[in-house]
A and B are shown apart, each in its own frame.
Chain A
Amino acid sequence: MAETAATQPSRSRDLDKLLLRPGNLVGPRFEPSAQLRDDVQNHARVLVVGAGGLGCELLKDLALSGFHNLDVIDMDRIEVTNLNRQFLFRVEDVGKPKAEVAAKRVMERISGVNIVPHFCRIEDKDIDFYNDFMIIALGLDSVEARSYINNVACSFLEYDSDDNPLEETIKPMVDGGTEGFKGHARVILPGVTPCFECTIWLFPPQVKFPLCTLAETPRTAAHCIEYAHLIKWNEAHGGTAFDPDNPQHMKWVYDEAAKRAELFGIPGVTYSFTQGVVKNIIPAIASTNAIISAACTLETLKIATECSKTMSNYLTYNGSEGLHTKVAEFERDKDCLVCGPGVLIEVDTSVTLQKFMNLLEEHPKLQLTKASITHRGKNLYMQAPPVLEEMTRSNLSLPLFELMGKLSKDVIHVNGMTNKNNQKVSCLRKLRVTFKGVDGVTDMDTAGGA
C-alpha cells in the first residue's frame, strides 16, 4: 500500500506551497506542480562563483530553496579573518580550499544535495564549463572577476536577424556584492537586462593618490603608507614583488610608513590601518552577506520556476543609517561590447587570419592584442598552450572567409588582451564579421567583388 505524497511528511513542506500552488502574481510561464519542484531539484544546475562571505550563504540558501545540483568555484584558502561570517568554516579548516570545505559542510547537513567544488581560478575553466549551468550566481569581491564571468555568459548569447536575443542562448546571472552595511543584488539576463559592462559606470574608480602627494607633500597616514608600499618598496627591494600576504613584507611597509609619518609629523599610522590600505580591506559582516545572498537566491528561484515576479533589475541596500532598499530599473546599452549584438567588422574575403588579427589591434573599440579566435567552437588560432599554437599556426595565412566556412556573416569570439585604465587586462569579445561583397548564398564561388 503506497503512501500518497500528501500523507508522507515532506522536506519541501514550505517550498511546496510556492511551487505547487497556482497564483496570480507569478511569472507568465509558471506551471505549478510537483513536476516543477522535482525538475528544479533533479535537473536545475546552478553555479556559485565564490565561496566566501556571499558564497557560503548562497550555497546554503540555494540548497534550502530546492536546488540540489550545485557547483562552487573559488581559488582561495580559508583564513582566520573569514571566520566572523563564512559560517561553513571552522578554526581547524584554516588553510584548506574554501570551495572544498564549503561543499562538504553543506552536503553533510542537507541530505540529497550534491555540490561539486572547483578549487581553481575562474579563468582556468573552459568557457563551455559555464554553459552547463542554468543560472550563475555570483558572490565575488572584485570588478575584474565579475567582468570576466559577465563576458563568458554573454558570449553564449546569440541574436536573430532582427537583432533580437535568442532565448535559449540567454544565460541568466544573479550578482551580489557587499561592503560593511551596504550591498547590492541584481539580475542579469544578457540581451534583455543590462549586463555588467552596460552599467560599468556604477562602479566608482579606485582612489589613487597623485604621485607628487606621496613623494613630496604627504598629509595623511594613508599617504605615508602608500609611499612605502608603492614607491619605497621597489627602491629597496629591486626585483622582489610585494606580497600583501607575507607578514614580513607588511611589517616592512608599516615600519617605513611609521618612520615617514614621524618625519612629517603625521598621526595615525597603525599596523591595522596599514593592512587596510595596502590590501584594500573591505570591512565585512555576516548580516549584510546574509541579506544580499538571500535576495540573490530568491531571484534565482524565480528565474528557474517563475513562481513570482522577478526583480527588475538592480537592488541597492544600505543598512547603516536606518534601512534603505531601492530597486532601480536600468536599461541596456544597445552598443554594449559584451552583451550587444557584437562589434561589426567588415572585411574583404581575401583578408587572412593574421591580417584580421592586426585589424583587431588597431580597431578603436577593441584594441585587442594576443588574440585567440574561435568560430562556432572551433579554434581558428590559439595563443596557448604551445601544442595548440603549433596546430593552429598554419591558419594564420589562410583567408578568414574560408576558415569561417564561407559564410557571408557570422559571430566569432576573440580572447585577448586590451587596455583598461592603463592596465592590460584579458577580455573576451564578441564580433560580428561580415564579408564585403558576398550575398547571402554561400555556395557561390564568384562572390560579387567591389
Chain B
Amino acid sequence: MAEPKVKYDRQLRIWGEQGQAALEKSSICLLNCGPTGSETLKNLVLGGIGSITVVDGSKVEVGDLGNNFLVDESSVGQSKAKCVSSFLQELNDSVKAKFVEEYPEALIETNPSFFSQFTLVIATQLVESSMIKLDRICREANVILIFARSYGLTGFVRISLKEHTVIESKPEHFLDDLRLNNPWLELKSFADSIDLTVQDPVAHKHIPYVVILVKMADEWAKSHGGKLPSTREQKKEFKDLLKARMVSQDEDNYKEAIEASFKVFAPRGISLDLQRILNDSSSEVDSNSSYFWVLVAALKEFIANEGGGEAPLEGSIPDMTSSTEQYINLQNIYLAKAEADFLVMEQLVRSILKKIGRDSNSIPKATIRSFCKNARKLRVCRYRSIEDEFNSPNIPELQRYLTDEDSSIAVGIYILLRAVDRFAANYNSFPGQFDSATDEDMPRLKSAAISLLSDLGCNGAALAEDLINEMCRFGAAELHAVAALVGGIASQEVIKLITRQFVPMSGTYIFNGIDHKSQLLSL
C-alpha cells in the first residue's frame, strides 16, 4: 500500500523497510499510563508499532488533566487505560490497541504468564520491589523489558534483558575499510596499472588517492624491509614524499591522499572490541545458539584462515577526487572482493550450521551479507538483572560517581529514587506527597537514603542535603515535560531494540532536570 509508506518516509530514511517491518510485527505492553507511559507509547504508535496493550488499574482524576495529553475532560472517572488506548488508536489506525484495567502490581503478583505474549514490556512508575519481580518474570519468558520513571524534575530509563546483539549498529563515525595498509592482489594490480608520473596534468590530478597511497605505501615498504611508516618522523617523511609528487597546488587528489595517509599507518587486522566478541564464550556454538553467534563463529574461522587476520571486506568506498572511470573501476574492485569474502563466509556459515545440527539454509543470504558488511561494527549489549544491580552494585564505580563533581547529582538522584521507594514501603506514601507532612518527611527520607548507602558499603555523607530536600519537594509529582522527555528516551530505546539497528544505551540513564547534567550510570 503506497499510503502508509509515504507517511513513514522520514523515518524509513533512518531504519529502512526492514526496521519498519520489525516495528510493525511487534507487540508492546505498557504498564501504567500516566504521562510517562503515555508519552512513550505515543511516539511508538506514531511510528507504526504493531500492537499495544495498556495496563493500568486507575481511574482518570482531575489532576491527570493537568499532566497527561492523552486524557481529556470527558475521561474523568473512567478507566485511564481505556481512555489512553482509545486516543492512541486515533493517532494511528494501523496499530492494534487494547487495554487491561488492572494494576500492574496485581498482574505481576498473580498472573506472570500474562507478559509472555509480548515482544517488549515498557514498565513505568514501578517501585523497586515490583521492578525486581517483573524483571525475573521477563527474563524467564525472554521478553525485552524497559523501565522508565519520572519523579519531579528527575527520572530514569533502564533496559533489562540478558543479551541484545546488533549487526547494523550504524555508528556515525567509523573508519572506511580501504585496506591501504594491507591491499589484496587485485587492488595492488590495479594500482600497478596506473602511472603516477603521467604527463597530462588533468590525468595527474584525477588519480584517486587510494591508488596514490597503495603505490606509495608499497614503495616505502620495499625500502623499509616490508614495514609501513610507524614513528612520527617516518609518518612525516611519508607525507612529505606525497607532497613532493604534487605538480601544482590545486591537486585535490594529493591533498586527500595526505589527509588520508593515517589510514596507511593504522594497524592491520581487527579491533579490540571485535576481538572481545570473538573471544566470548558464546562464540563456541551449539544447537541452541542464536544466529548472531553462529555468524560470529563463522567470522572467527574466516579471520583465522581466508581473511588472513582481516574481517570480510566491507565493500564500499568514500567519494574522492578522481576521473569517473577510475573511480568506477576502483569501486568494482572493492565490490568484487567483498563479494568473494561473502561467498567464503556463506560456506563457513552453512557448514557450522550443519555441524550443530541445524538446517544449513536457516540463515538467509541477506543476513549473512549484512553481517559481512557490518562485521567490524558488531555490538553485544548485556544487562545485569535488576536484582543483581540493586543488591550488589559495582561499589568502586558507585564511589567514583559519588565523588565526581560531574556525576554526583545524578548518582544522588539514583540513590534517592530507591530511597523514596523504601520510604513508601514504610510510610505508605512518598516523601512530600502531602503538603502537611513535608517537614517530617525530609529527615525520614534522609535516613532511608543513608541506610541504603551504608547497606551498599558507601558513605551516607556524600549525598547533598539540598538534593534530599528537593526530592521531598517533588513529592512524587509526575510533571508533563519531564515525562515527555523520559518517555522520548524510552521510546527511542524501544525502537533500537526492536529494529535491532543502532546501539541501545547501557546501564541506567539518570535524567537530571535540575541542571541537565544527566548521566549514564553503569552499576
Contacts and interface: CB of A to CB of B under 8 A. Distances in A.
Interface of A: 6, 9-15, 17-18, 21-25, 57, 60-61, 64-65, 80-81, 83-85, 87, 90, 108-111, 180-181, 213, 217-220, 264-266, 272, 276, 281-291, 293-295, 297-298, 301, 308-312, 315, 318-323, 325, 327
9 contacts: A60-B484, A61-B480, A87-B91, A283-B14, A287-B491, A297-B481, A298-B482, A322-B503, A323-B509
A65 B479 contact: yes
Interface stretch (B133-141, B219-227, B337-345, B470-478): B470-478
Given A11-B62, A64-B67, A319-B489, A294 B482 contact: yes
Contact of B432 (A17, A311, A322): A17
Given A11-B65, A65-B480, A285 B502 contact: no
Interface secondary structure of A, over-half rule:
loop
Interface in B328-383: 328
A321 B7 contact: no
Contacts of A85: 10-11, 43, 46
Contact of B6 (A15, A81, A217, A218): A81
A266 B492 contact: no
B45 to A, nearest CB: 9
Interface stretch (B123-131, B164-172, B182-190, B269-277): B164-172
Interface stretch (B256-264, B287-295, B421-429, B510-518): B510-518
B169 A321 contact: yes
A287 B486 CA distance: 10
B516 A266 contact: no
Contact of A322 (B47, B319, B467, B505): B505
A60 B506 CA distance: 30
Contacts of B515: 309-312, 327
B14 A11 contact: no
Interface in B488-523: 488-489, 491-493, 495, 502-506, 509, 513-518, 520
A57 B484 CA distance: 9
Contacts of B488: 286-291, 294
B466 interface: yes
A25 B505 contact: no
B94 to A, nearest CB: 11
B520 A322 contact: yes
Contacts of B327: 217, 219
B328 A286 contact: no
Contacts of B502: 181, 320-321
Contacts of B3: 80
A370 B319 CA distance: 42
B328 A266 contact: yes
A15 B477 contact: yes
A291 B488 CA distance: 5
Contact of B62 (A10, A288, A297, A312): A10
A218 B469 contact: no
Contacts of A84: 7-11, 46-48
B383 to A, nearest CB: 13
Contacts of A312: 515
Contacts of B328: 219, 264-266
A285 B470 contact: no
B61 interface: yes
Interface residues of B, number: 82
A278 B244 CA distance: 40
B132 to A, nearest CB: 24
A17 B69 contact: no
Given A21-B475, A84-B7, A110-B69, 11 more contacts: A13-B63, A13-B477, A17-B152, A24-B469, A65-B480, A84-B9, A217-B324, A219-B320, A219-B327, A291-B492, A322-B504
Interface in B44-76: 46-48, 61-63, 65-69, 72-73
Contacts of B200: none
B444 to A, nearest CB: 17
A290 B487 contact: yes
A323 B480 CA distance: 22
A320 B473 contact: no
B438 interface: yes
A24 B469 CA distance: 7
Nearest to B509: A323
B402 to A, nearest CB: 18
Nearest to A264: B324
Contacts of A81: 6-7, 9-10
Contact of A283 (B10, B42, B467, B478): B10
A285 B23 CA distance: 14
A317 B502 CA distance: 15
Contacts of B170: 320
Contacts of A12: 63, 66
A230 B506 CA distance: 45
A61 B172 CA distance: 30
A324 B297 CA distance: 32
A308 B514 contact: yes
A286 B43 contact: yes
B319 A220 contact: yes
Of B14, B480, B514, most A-chain CB atoms within 10 Å: B480
Contacts of A323: 489, 493, 505, 509, 520
Contacts of A60: 69, 480, 484
Given A17-B474, A21-B438, A276-B13, A325 B516 contact: yes
B98 interface: no
A31 B280 CA distance: 58
A103 to B, nearest CB: 15
Contacts of A25: 466-467, 469-470, 514
B28 to A, nearest CB: 14
A327 B435 contact: no
B323 interface: yes
Contacts of B503: 320-322
B62 A9 contact: yes
A285 B13 CA distance: 10
B84 interface: no
A213 B520 CA distance: 45
Nearest to A108: B72
B218 interface: no
Contacts of A15: 66-67, 477, 479
B415 interface: no
B127 to A, nearest CB: 18
B63 A286 contact: no
A285 B69 contact: no
A23 B46 contact: no
Given A17-B152, A21-B473, A181-B492, A294 B62 contact: no
B228 to A, nearest CB: 27
A154 B7 CA distance: 38
Nearest to B3: A80
3 residue pairs, one from A and one from B, having the closest CB atoms: A13-B63, A290-B488, A294-B485
A287 B469 contact: no
A111 B72 CA distance: 8
B484 A293 contact: yes
Given A85-B46, A321-B502, A219 B322 contact: yes
